């Protein structure tokens, strides 16, 4: 039996095929959008319009949860020692670039909390929540939670990028030259660096997993659920960060399609990758649906006023149409991506990925606005929400493109190194001897 020869790209070929500079227009558009958003927000803030602040919060929740979940998914690849994603996962690692900026924006949000949270204007009737939402407890708690997530995320991605930067020729955006030089300091031989990095990442990934889950539960309580101080749900935190998780996968799928076409990397990013991404989007859409219905079902049959008012508000005029649209966009991919054909046919896959991307944006809106404007006869949606949203998209786009222009766009070492699969069998990074299974 004859076998067709399959060419395995070399490190030089991968670098040459993935180093095409991004169009300058992308950064220009991102900067313009960021400026538009900044002008809209500042005008609203200076004229005393609280919706500018509220829009900042819900857009922050959208982009911060998606970016953080994207990095967490990268860490999960290490926890599971996955190999399928090596040629595409760097495209998701770029999400980390937004997190330091998001930390600064969180400080701004907390400083302007009186424009966002209705409970800041009166005395809370619930003693426990009066203590929990006290600014001297709320502000440090939120900043510490997100600060730990951000620090561990940046540290983890630094280790993944360092492995490539240390073994490839100097290249990339000038702003990151100092970072790349720092990465190369103390760099040892290839085999030892692969194992020592793999070992460090194993510990970082686990710590990041705990920080991600517990941190976002706390942040969802502090910044989203607390908008209505009378409502509480133990599933709310999971609901919030798993929405970010499935949207990170959906946006990752869209970006992978775009990068594949732009770079012409059809031999490195294949149909199999989109099949795998489609299965992940399908699976976590189902899980998001389970959390949504599970939370609703318990509220419905419990029939307690402090819980039912929150769900009922979003199921009556004027919020009902937007609620139904959001559920359709978020859960529609479950039905649309059932077949293999829908996952590997890129227009279909892109359509349902966009469903999720837009669906979560409306989801974040519905988390915040109905609890503030419950007396409104119409949905308050206009220039503040769209303007600040475009500004946040511009900031995110600028951060992402800056990262992708500064570092290798694929994990070239783990794709080409003769030692790349040794990490499946853990070794002592100092002696290079295999570790016993229990270690």
Answer whether 269's CB lies under 8 Å from 87's CB.
Answer: yes
Q: In the beta sheet, which residues pair with residue 427? A: 434
Is the peptide bond between 23 and the residue preceding it cis, with omega within 30 degrees of 0? no
In degrees, to the nearest 5, what angle opens at C-alpha 238 toward C-alphas 378 and 315? 25
Among left, alpha and beta (phi > 0; psi -120 to 50; other), residue 433 is beta
Confidence of residue 436 (pLDDT cuts 50, 70, 90): low
DSSP, residue by residue, 101-150: HHHHHHHHHHHTGGGT-GGGGS--S-HHHHHHT-HHHHHHHHHHHHHHHH
Long-range contacts, stretch 39-42, CB < 8 angstroms, 24+ apart: 39/387, 40/383, 40/384, 40/387, 40/388, 40/391, 41/387, 41/388, 41/391
pTM above 0.85, yes or no: yes
The single-letter DSSP state of residue 424 is: G
What are the counts of helices (DSSP H) followed by strands (DSSP E) for the chain? 17, 0
pLDDT band, residue 168 (cuts 50/70/90): very high
Read off the pLDDT of residues 101-119 as tens digits, 9 standing for 90 and up: 999 999 999 999 999 999 9
Q: What are phi and psi of 427, to 5 degrees?
A: -130, 165
The pLDDT of residue 429 is 64
Q: Which residue do the tokens 């760099």 mark?
A: 187
Q: Over 70: is that where the pLDDT of 40 sits?
A: yes
pLDDT confidence of 3, banded at 50, 70, 90? very low
User: What Rg value do the Cα atoms of the chain yield, rounded?
Assistant: 23
Q: At what angle do helices 190-223 and 135-165 cross, to 10 degrees?
A: 160
> Once rounded to an integer, what is the mean pLDDT over residues 371-384?
96
- Nearest one of 167, 207, 191 to 75, comparing CA atoms: 207
Q: Which DSSP letter does residue 435 get?
A: P
pLDDT at 439 over 60: no
Task: Render pLDDT for 7-26 as a digit per residue (tens, 0 to 9).
Answer: 678 999 999 999 999 999 99
């Amino acid at each position: 039996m004859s076998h067709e020869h399959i060419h395995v790209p070399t490190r030089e070929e991968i670098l040459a095929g993935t180093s095409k500079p991004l169009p300058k227009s992308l950064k220009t558009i991102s900067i313009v959008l960021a400026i538009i958003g900044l002008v809209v927000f500042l005008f609203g803030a200076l004229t005393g319009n609280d919706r500018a602040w509220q829009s900042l919060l819900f857009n922050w929740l959208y982009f911060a949860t998606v970016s953080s979940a994207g990095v967490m998914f990268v860490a999960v690849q290490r926890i599971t020692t996955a190999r399928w994603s090596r040629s595409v996962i760097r495209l998701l690692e770029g999400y980390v670039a937004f997190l330091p900026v998001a930390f600064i924006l969180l400080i701004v949000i907390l400083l302007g909390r009186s424009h966002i949270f209705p409970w800041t204007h009166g005395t809370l009737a619930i003693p426990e929540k009066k203590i929990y939402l006290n600014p001297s407890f709320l502000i440090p708690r939120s900043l510490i939670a997100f600060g730990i997530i951000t620090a561990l995320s940046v540290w983890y991605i630094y280790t993944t990028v360092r492995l490539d930067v240390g073994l490839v020729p100097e290249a990339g955006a000038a702003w990151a030259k100092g970072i790349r030089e720092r990465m190369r300091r103390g760099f040892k031989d290839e085999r030892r660096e692969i194992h020592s990095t793999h070992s460090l990442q194993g510990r970082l990934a686990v710590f990041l997993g705990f920080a991600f889950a517990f941190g976002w539960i706390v942040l969802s309580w502090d910044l989203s659920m607390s908008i209505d101080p009378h409502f509480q749900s133990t599933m709310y935190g999971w609901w919030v960060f798993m929405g970010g998780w499935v949207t990170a996968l959906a946006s990752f799928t869209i970006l992978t399609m775009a990068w594949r076409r732009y770079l012409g990397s059809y031999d490195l990013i294949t149909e199999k990758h989109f099949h795998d991404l489609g299965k992940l989007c399908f699976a976590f859409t189902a899980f998001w649906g389970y959390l949504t219905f599970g939370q609703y079902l318990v509220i419905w049959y419990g029939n307690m006023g402090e819980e039912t008012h929150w769900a009922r508000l979003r199921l009556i005029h004027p919020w009902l149409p937007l609620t139904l649209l959001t559920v359709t966009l978020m859960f529609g991919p479950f039905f649309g991506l059932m077949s293999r054909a829908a996952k590997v046919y890129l227009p279909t896959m892109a359509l349902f990925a966009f469903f999720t991307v837009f669906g979560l944006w409306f989801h974040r809106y519905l988390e915040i606005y109905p609890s503030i404007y419950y007396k409104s006869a119409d949905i308050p949606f206009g220039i503040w929400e769209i303007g600040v949203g475009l500004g946040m998209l511009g900031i995110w786009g600028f951060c992402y493109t800056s990262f992708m222009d500064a570092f290798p766009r694929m994990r070239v070492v783990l794709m080409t190194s003769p030692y790349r699969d040794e990490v499946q069998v853990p070794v002592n990074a100092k002696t290079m001897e295999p570790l016993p299974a229990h270690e």
